């Protein structure tokens, strides 16, 4: 039987606020246990929540950037369940009236069986995005056979972004998640740090025979905190479900945990028992009401978003689609590129350096862009020299390596190392000499043997000890060989 996969994602993005959603505690990652847990976070008797204004700004930004409706009236509700990392015995979330709803994003992905090399596109609906508080952490190291509870994270603001069940492959799911990841970082509302858990995802996965209308029974796969895991986990889960059905079994609606070490999902039955969350509007909080003026003010604050930036890069800098996509995939890279370009470089060259040379060096050194020893200004200085003929592209690689090693700016390296492209009259003289000394090869070339051209280039580079600009050598040789 032919199977079709249906995937919906619930993404939790931790919002980059200074303080928690309902208390004045800091949200810094990695603090000593329970040192960022205030009376409110600890759910001491008698404490009350007060909503952080910034989380409303963050949610509204996301709403506008995802073509969604930003609700003028939203309500916080309590989701009741007992768990030691949930101090109040309920999580403050939003249920019936979320702050953001009914939007969409367009994604691009490599489609299976598509041979023209172009990416496929798809519009994925966003059902809703609601605000809620994060829980604390359970630490399972052995404390006299007990679990330790750290509530520093309790009350950290989250935006839970729920998609429609409209993705039909792990690749689409990853593309969608990357799109959201890029968007929240562009908006500056989340740092998207997946290692620290500030961007994570649960996937609702089901399969159905091709042609069947109704959805199959879904399983919720939790704990997906890397793009690689999400793809593997979904693929694994799809296979598991198909195998199960084909063997005559049935999928059970349940929560499953992805184990990246074993590359498998397993049932979390412990969480399944009698989940009745008894949602109701939190009586300690009042409805959040915002007006058009607020929404317009947020709209005015929005940065240029990835799709718009990419279109601009293509038109303004005449970049190809691939270069533009790569450069705008993250706001940091796009900003780096534009900053480097501002020094006076040539766009295509700049794109190439950022996407290839710099990306390669960072990758090799396992550094993030923010940690690059070569700043955008430094690369810009180098690109400027490249553009004004002060450097050959070969020299540029040397300059880049030197800048990487901390030898200073491009101009400083050039001066220190006495780098200078060979003078063109000098190159001309050398070329004239080579032509004069090799009449046989000249004859062959002129009679149409294009291959001989390489011989002349080789001779010229040898004579200039590799210092000549290959482009200059090429141009001069062509002109002179034509006779």
What are the residue ranges of helices labelled H in 247-358? Answer: 292-301, 306-316, 321-328, 331-342, 347-352
Report the residue from 48, 311, 365, 437 that binds another protein according to the rule CB under 8 A.
48
If binding is defined by CB under 8 A, does position 90 make contact with another protein?
yes
If binding is defined by CB under 8 A, does position 265 make contact with another protein?
no
Report the residue from 50, 215, 308, 321 that binds another protein according to the rule CB under 8 A.
50
What does the block give as tokens for 74?
A: 């939203």
277 vs 453, which CB is nearer to another protein? 277
Report the residue from 1, 146, 247, 293 that binds another protein according to the rule CB under 8 A.
146
Q: What is the dihedral of CA 359, 360, 363, 365, to 10 degrees?
A: -120
117 vs 145, which CB is nearer to another protein? 145
If binding is defined by CB under 8 A, does position 375 make contact with another protein?
no
Estimate to the nearest angstrom the gap between the alpha carbon of 145 and the chain centroid: 40
Report the residue from 4, 29, 33, 357 that binds another protein according to the rule CB under 8 A.
33
If binding is defined by CB under 8 A, does position 274 make contact with another protein?
yes
Sketch the per residue contact string, 121 through 140, with another protein: x for CB under 8 A, - otherwise.
Answer: -----------------xxx
If binding is defined by CB under 8 A, does position 80 make contact with another protein?
yes
If binding is defined by CB under 8 A, does position 295 make contact with another protein?
no
If binding is defined by CB under 8 A, does position 51 make contact with another protein?
yes
Would you give the end-to-end CA distance of the chain in angstroms? 70
Residue 413 · residue 442 · CB < 8 Å:
no
Residue 201 · residue 177 · CB < 8 Å:
yes
If binding is defined by CB under 8 A, does position 38 make contact with another protein?
yes
**Span interacting with another protein, options 276-284, 304-312, 320-328, 367-375, rule CB under 8 A:** 276-284
Residue 170 · residue 231 · CB < 8 Å:
yes
CA distance 158 to 155: 9
If binding is defined by CB under 8 A, does position 88 make contact with another protein?
yes
Of residues 343-362, those binding another protein (CB under 8 A): none
Instruction: Give the helix/strand (H/E) hosting 159.
Output: strand 157-163
What does the angle CA 35 – CA 41 – CA 44 come to, to the nearest 5 degrees? 105
Report the residue from 147, 168, 253, 267 that binds another protein according to the rule CB under 8 A.
147
121 vs 147, which CB is nearer to another protein? 147
CB within 8 A of 419, min separation 6: which ones? 391, 395, 398, 399, 413
Q: Look-up: residue for tokens 């593997």?
A: 232
- Residue 452's φ and ψ, nearest 5 degrees, are -65, -20
If binding is defined by CB under 8 A, does position 288 make contact with another protein?
yes
CA distance 466 to 463: 8
Would you tell me which residues interact with another protein (CB under 8 A)?
A: 17-19, 23-26, 32-39, 42-54, 56, 76, 78, 80, 82, 84, 87-90, 138-140, 143-151, 257, 268, 270-271, 274, 276, 278-281, 283-289
């Amino acid at each position: 039987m032919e199977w079709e996969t249906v995937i919906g994602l619930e993404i939790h993005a931790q919002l980059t606020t200074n303080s928690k959603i309902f208390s004045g505690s800091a949200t810094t990652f990695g603090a000593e246990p329970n040192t960022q847990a205030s009376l409110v976070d600890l759910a001491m008797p008698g404490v009350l929540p007060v909503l952080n204004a910034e989380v409303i700004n963050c949610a509204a930004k996301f709403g506008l950037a995802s073509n969604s409706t930003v609700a003028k009236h939203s309500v916080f509700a309590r989701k009741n369940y007992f768990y030691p990392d949930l101090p109040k015995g309920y999580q403050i979330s939003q249920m019936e009236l979320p702050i953001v709803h009914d939007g969409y994003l367009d994604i691009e992905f490599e489609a299976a069986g598509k041979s023209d090399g172009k990416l496929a596109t798809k519009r994925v609906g966003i059902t809703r995005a609601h605000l809620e508080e994060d829980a604390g952490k359970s630490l399972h190291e052995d404390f006299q056979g007990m679990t330790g509870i750290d509530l520093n994270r309790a009350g950290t603001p989250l935006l839970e972004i729920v998609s429609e069940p409209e993705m039909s492959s792990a690749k689409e799911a990853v593309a969608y998640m990357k799109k959201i990841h890029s968007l929240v970082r562009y908006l500056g509302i989340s740092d998207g740090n997946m290692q620290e858990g500030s961007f994570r995802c649960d996937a609702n996965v089901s399969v159905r025979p091709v042609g069947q209308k109704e959805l199959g029974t879904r399983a919720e796969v939790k704990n997906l905190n890397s793009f690689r895991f999400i793809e593997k986990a979904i693929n694994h889960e799809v296979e598991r479900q198909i195998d199960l059905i084909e063997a005559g079994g049935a999928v059970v609606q349940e929560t499953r945990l992805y184990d990246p070490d074993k590359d498998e999902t397993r049932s979390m039955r412990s969480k399944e028992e009698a989940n009745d969350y008894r949602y109701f509007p939190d009586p300690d909080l009042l409805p959040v009401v915002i007006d058009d003026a607020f929404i317009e003010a947020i709209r005015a604050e929005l940065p240029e978003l990835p799709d718009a930036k990419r279109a601009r890069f293509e038109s303004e800098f005449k970049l190809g689609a691939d270069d533009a996509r790569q450069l705008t995939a993250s706001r940091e890279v796009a900003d780096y590129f534009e900053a480097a370009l501002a020094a006076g470089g040539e766009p295509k060259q700049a794109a190439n350096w950022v996407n290839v040379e710099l990306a390669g060096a960072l990758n090799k050194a396992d550094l993030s862009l923010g940690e690059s020893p070569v700043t955008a200004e430094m690369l810009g200085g180098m690109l400027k020299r490249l553009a004004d003929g002060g450097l050959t592209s070969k020299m540029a690689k040397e300059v880049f390596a030197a800048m990487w090693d901390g030898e200073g700016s491009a101009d400083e390296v050039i001066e220190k190392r006495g780098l200078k492209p060979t003078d063109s009259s000098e190159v001309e003289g050398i070329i004239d000499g080579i032509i004069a000394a090799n009449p046989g090869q000249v004859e062959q070339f002129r009679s149409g043997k294009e291959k001989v051209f390489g011989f002349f280039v080789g001779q010229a580079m040898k004579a200039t000890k590799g210092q000549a600009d290959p482009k200059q050598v090429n141009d001069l040789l062509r002109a002179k060989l034509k006779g």
